[in-house]
Chains A and B, each alone.
Chain A
């Protein structure tokens, strides 16, 4: 899901050129700064850009491509499910660091995706089947989350048994006071 190349056609050269002019004509030869520059850079002609300028004009044939790309995005979570099932099967139900990490990953990814749902929708904006794709994406993520919960359940991490709440049971209050013993 690479974002389209933004920014202007005239990009800067290198990261360190924040303070540098976009372009400059060097007239004086005795400048110290230019001397150091000259060692690294080649002096380009005016109007020359280092990076190729992308063709920004939209063509009619790209519409299908966009559609396809959007379906890719929407079906992404569903495609991951078989993979997840395999990992689940492989990692087993013992509680140790790796299965726990797997489960965390499995649970966290769908949740993260659901959180950034609006961003995904923006992405799908250009598609004609935006709503269907959105629904598929949502279902895929929900299925992923459900799978993670199922894994937690089979690992015994969910407090679904009465034994999980045992520690919270307060000792009952006694209603009678009783004491006594052998006759001294």
Chain B
């Protein structure tokens, strides 16, 4: 019987849920992906071959990648774990091998630079990482040395095996900081005892024996990497910012530092600046160069040379900034006119920079250079010699915080017509004139279009491009193309065309604090021509609580002329009301820490409307640090009164998230049809909030998660569920009359989904208006749970224009896939025993496991790295929902939860149908004629 049941189940599945995957020829047709690496921490130019095009980058997002230096595209990319576990501590590069130290010295990995494959991986002993270097001997590099707090280990470069490991002497008192090798079979470990002396331990490369151990007085030194560098034949050069002097120490012979005051070299340090040194060792098997850089001010660099203990100034660079120079062609590099290198001209503004320079000898023995510049807004710009920008990468997009999708404006002619009907009538004659003028404009546009067609037709087809630029942006027939407004954590805003993924505008907000919270709101859409669309970004400094507003046009990215109000008080939250001012901008209310409200825009009209509707405006605030949920009502004088409060004791559980319903969500059907054709009405409370709590006790036997459904107006708890032996992270989606959440079950050690659905019952209480204040009956609550075979990163529900299309859940998986799971699988009415009625209702019989079917992946093989959020937006077509997944990468596509019922298929045979139609038409004509002739003939008979 069981086998039969399973067979039936399978049949049902096959019958009901034929979900189209993407066909091969549809790949990339309406989806695109952009891959990013993040803010660069280390970079190396692959110089083993002159023709090599690789730039190796290790980033703060724990990504190691190779970029194509000609195009900026990725050759390969490796994404490590988030957080300190995957943190890249060091990048060493030699020939084909790139060695990474990862996770505070936990892992040592070697990658093949050419193909991006892993050569080997070694787990290192515990201990916090200090430094690493490649060790060369007799001209070849065969080892890598890793210095930790108490231990030094040397590994073979070929296979990662440990050659030797030694405990560092006196590691309790000495803080070992750097390791250095000059290629002569010795490894120098430099450590300091603060305010006392430097300790130098020299190890033999062969067996790890200590050859020498010396201490040198240096009470002024506290940090070797910050103020010292090894130069020339093994001379430690340190800069002392208190006495303003250079101190040299020959690591091989001397036991005393030699002090050379900077004044004796005729140099002066900028006030309050800590000078620093940069040296270079082009090959680990050789000594470092005797030339080195000394930074004396934020923009002042000196090129010096150590020559037999004497320091010679080679050159004084004034304009260039924070630089890492490759010293390989040092003497030639000094001849480069560095004024050309100044990126201000090419980047158009003055920002903090990090430069990564590669210099090389050209065929004619002159020096060429390539520079990779990272600016403060996380843009990577690659510049070739005469200041030519080869490519730019907007790495800020690897950290999108929030986004919105805004409709594109109508074309000029459409807008003109719209505007004509939108304006108020002012007399017959002006109306006639206006109509004539708009007709004239349309005629003009049409002629221009014809001319363009004619002009393009003459050109060869390859030259005709339909590039989207900000000038020719216009809404398409079905509103499928939208403007994606993305806010990144660096404070850079982007406007991206959703069809092609092209960046149409970008705007860098300087003075965005490091730990800012962002909230993006669309105050006016493009529907109100001639008023421009308007978006408002609330930027709140989490430390001070103070917030600023950035008001801009989402289509062009320009700052709006509307001046946002000054916000002297810390802001707690902002509310976007459905009220509009006379210019069709939605009213934004800002709640400050005195629970006073200010409106933006705050015209007389708005204030009057607010006064009229104040009694029906409610808002809630959730303070998770105090475990407090509180509801407020607006008073007519824009002060507020607290209506309700729910306190969740913070010692037991903490509030992790609160989800209301999306304001632009439409629900077409008010109920569900039962098998006996009666209706089970949905409980569609627009004010319902889903509050998720997690226990503070993380012990697997006692941990739990709670879910509270609270009415945001009255504070009434509609439903409360506690999942015992479960812990977060909890992902929640709240929509229509259901809440879906996912958690980790510590009891069964698996991921589980749970769904709660709310129903009013067989009768509607009030079908015309919904008021939370007048709901005498509690809803019926149904709940079911399922096992999910994977953990998830994020979850969102599809959204369509009218809400007729069935819903899917879009689930971002850690594997990079985005799964489109039909909501009907998460339905608490799924029966355990199949009955006639449940079959009539198309309910799938309950089975605890949710299966991941590969054709449900909407992004096929286009994995999205570290997906953090999914944004869904309705299009003009009811069947189609636009989806943007963002994380390290950005992926945009469309989904059709109920298939494309309102559009002809992509491969629809227009030719066949039209030819058949024409053939039939002509056949009718001909047969009609023939019939006439025949009738006539018969009549003549």
Contacts and interface: CB of A to CB of B under 8 A. Distances in A.
Interface of A: 16, 156, 161-164, 166-167, 169-184
8 contacts: A16-B941, A161-B677, A177-B617, A178-B687, A179-B589, A179-B660, A179-B663, A182-B655
Nearest to A156: B677
B207 interface: no
A16 B623 CA distance: 98
Contacts of B764: 169
A180 B771 contact: no
A166 B673 contact: yes
B677 A166 contact: no
B563 interface: no
Interface string B713-727: 100000000000000
A178 B658 contact: no
Interface string B570-600: 0111111111000000000100000000000
Nearest to A161: B677
Contacts of A16: 938-939, 941
A178 B770 contact: no
A184 B767 CA distance: 36
Contact of B616 (A169, A170, A177, A181): A177
Nearest to A16: B941
Contacts of A178: 617-620, 660, 686-687, 712-713, 772
B621 to A, nearest CB: 6
A175 B771 contact: yes
A163 B673 contact: yes
A167 B770 CA distance: 18
Interface string B679-699: 100001011000000000000
B302 interface: no
Given A172-B768, A173-B768, A177-B616, 12 more contacts: A16-B939, A16-B941, A161-B678, A163-B673, A169-B671, A170-B767, A174-B770, A175-B770, A176-B772, A180-B621, A183-B622, A184-B571
B859 to A, nearest CB: 30
Contacts of B19: none
Contact of A169 (B655, B666, B670, B773): B670
Interface in B517-541: 517, 519, 538, 540
A180 B677 contact: no
A172 B572 contact: no
Given A161-B677, A171-B667, A175-B770, A180 B517 contact: no
Interface string B652-675: 000101101001001111110110
A174 B674 contact: no
A184 B687 contact: no
B562 interface: no
Most chain B C-beta atoms within 10 Å of own C-beta, residue among A166, A170, A173, A177: A177
Given A166-B673, A167-B669, A179-B575, A172 B678 contact: no
B613 interface: yes
Interface of B: 517, 519, 538, 540, 542, 547, 571-579, 589, 613, 616-624, 631, 655, 657-658, 660, 663, 666-671, 673-674, 677-679, 684, 686-687, 712-713, 764, 766-773, 938-939, 941
Given A166-B673, A169-B670, A174 B577 contact: no
A160 to B, nearest CB: 9
A183 B573 contact: yes
Given A166-B670, A171-B667, A182-B622, A176 B773 contact: yes
B624 A177 contact: no
Closest 4 interchain pairs by CB? A180-B620, A179-B575, A161-B677, A180-B619
Given A166-B679, A169-B670, A171-B666, A177 B658 contact: no
Contacts of B666: 171
Contact of B769 (A169, A174, A180, A183): A174
B669 A166 contact: yes
A184 B679 contact: no
Nearest to A172: B770
A176 B673 contact: no
Contacts of A163: 671, 673-674, 677-679
B162 to A, nearest CB: 49
Contacts, number: 123
A172 B769 contact: yes
Contacts of B579: 177
Contacts of B542: 184
Contacts of A181: 573, 620-622, 658, 660
A117 B616 CA distance: 63
Given A161-B677, A179-B577, A174 B620 contact: no
Given A163-B674, A184-B517, A184-B540, A176 B618 contact: yes
A21 B658 CA distance: 98
Contacts of A183: 572-573, 621-624
A175 B769 contact: yes
A163 B762 CA distance: 10
Nearest to B618: A178
A136 to B, nearest CB: 37
A58 B620 CA distance: 97
A162 B679 contact: yes
A180 to B, nearest CB: 4
Nearest to B840: A156
A49 B764 CA distance: 80
Nearest to B617: A177
A170 B684 CA distance: 12
Contacts of A167: 668-669
Contacts of A156: 677
A181 B617 CA distance: 15
Contact of B713 (A162, A170, A176): A176
Contacts of B772: 176, 178
A166 B686 contact: no
A169 B674 CA distance: 17
Contact of B575 (A166, A169, A175, A180): A180
A172 B767 contact: yes
B656 to A, nearest CB: 10
A178 B538 CA distance: 19
B312 to A, nearest CB: 57
A48 to B, nearest CB: 23
Contacts of B657: 182
A184 B575 CA distance: 12
Nearest to A162: B679
Given A163-B677, A166-B669, A172-B769, A177 B577 contact: yes
Nearest to B634: A177
Contacts of A180: 573, 575, 619-622, 631, 660, 712
Most chain B C-beta atoms within 10 Å of own C-beta, residue among A163, A167, A176: A176
A175 B771 CA distance: 5
Contact of B572 (A170, A171, A174, A184): A184
A175 B673 CA distance: 27
B769 A173 contact: yes
Contacts of B619: 178-180
A152 B941 CA distance: 53
Nearest to B940: A16
B768 A184 contact: no
A182 B691 CA distance: 10
A164 B673 CA distance: 9
Contacts of A172: 684, 766-770
A182 B673 contact: no
Contact of B771 (A161, A162, A169, A176): A176
B712 A184 contact: no
Contacts of A171: 666-667, 670, 684
Nearest to B575: A179
Contact of A184 (B573, B577, B660, B771): B573
Nearest to A18: B939
Contacts of B773: 175-176
Nearest to B518: A184
Contacts of B768: 170, 172-173
A31 to B, nearest CB: 17
Contacts of B770: 172-175
